Structure 1
């Protein structure tokens, strides 16, 4: 039997969202704001940030409690629309 994408996750579940982009002043604020539209206020311990070795790029990982596949799809769609976001994992 094959499983659909909906069967992979058992909601609610912890889910990391990883965002990459150029290290710009508003990227963290922008990414967090987009995600907060779907999950409510984020706590600072949900967000981790790493800069590239030369500081040109930034990686932001945000751990959320995902409640549905539709929620994840909506978050990803909004993040992809952001001009500050280069890649999503």
Structure 2
């Protein structure tokens, strides 16, 4: 990933990932399992359904320690089956 985040962030820092995907029961489970694999912890995900209920937005704040962790988690979340976008 080619970004200037490494220059903008001071590690360790709290970073919120916003994952948007189809409103399937597996979405939350997949997102949280992926996050736990890379950054274990107790998280309180915020879930917001879309107006028509087709999509869910899941926001999770994690404590990242380096840019590699940020990029790896972004890539892994983006690759999940029901995910359409990661911000």
Give the TM-score normalised by structure 1: 0.88
What is residue 32 of structure 1 aligned with on the other side? 32
Deviation per residue, 1:22-51 (Å, 9 max, x gap):
1001100100100111110333x3x10000
For structure 2, list consecutive stretches of 5 or more residues without a partner in the other structure.
Answer: none
Counting only pairs closer than 5 Å after superposition, residues 34-73 of structure 1 correspond to structure 2 as 34-43=34-43, 45=44, 47-73=45-71
How many pairs were matched up? 84
For the residues of structure 1 that align with 2:30 and 2:5, how far apart are their CA atoms? 28
For the residues of structure 1 that align with 2:67 and 2:51, how far apart are their CA atoms? 34
Instruction: Tell me which structure has the larger Cα radius of gyration.
Output: 1
Where 1:26 maps in the other structure, the secondary structure is helix
The structure 1 segments of at least 4 consecutive aligned residues displaced by more than 4 Å after TM superposition are: none
Which residue, out of 82, 85, 89, partners 2:83? 85
For structure 1, list consecutive stretches of 5 or more residues without a partner in the other structure.
Answer: none
For the residues of structure 2 that align with 1:5 and 1:86, how far apart are their CA atoms? 22
CA RMSD across the alignment: 1.1
For the residues of structure 2 that align with 1:72 and 1:13, how far apart are their CA atoms? 10
What is residue 76 of structure 1 aligned with on the other side? 74
Deviation at 1:10, TM superposition (A): 0.3
